[in-house]
Amino acid sequence: EPEVTQTPSHQVTQMGQEVILRCVPISNHLYFYWYRQILGQKVEFLVSFYNNEISEKSEIFDDQFSVERPDGSNFTLKIRSTKLEDSAMYFCASSVVVNEKLFFGSGTQLSVL
């Protein structure tokens, strides 16, 4: 079965550093997403991406965040200057139809020290 893959599985960084989280969505999917889940809390929407541009974003997705699809297969989330409160599990997801039947990756656990 096709799957969304994310790398790295764990990322430790110092506060103020930039991080890039990487994802390879399912190849025939058109919509891509980033979600995050702080330990013990709900899954929260960050951003959705379609046709090489952001289609929707949440209040969490401020100027410190950016997304990019640098080639035909990768989808990245960049945090420019990490804060302690950015520590969370970050999930990438993709779908054929917007917000329907999302396939999630296994996540990247980001720890900001």
102 is written with which tokens? 């999302």
**One character per residue 76-105, x = contact with other proteins (rule: CB under 8 A):** ---------------x-x----xxxxxxxx
CB of 33 to other proteins, least distance (A): 9
Q: Does residue number 25 form part of the binding site for other proteins (CB under 8 A)?
A: no
> Which phi and psi (to 5°) does residue 68 adopt?
-155, 145
Strand 19-24 relative to strand 5-7, pairing = antiparallel
Q: In whole angstroms, what separates CA 106 from the centre of its chain?
A: 11
Q: Of 41, 51, 53, 84, which one interacts with other proteins (CB under 8 A)?
A: 41
CB of 78 to other proteins, least distance (A): 20
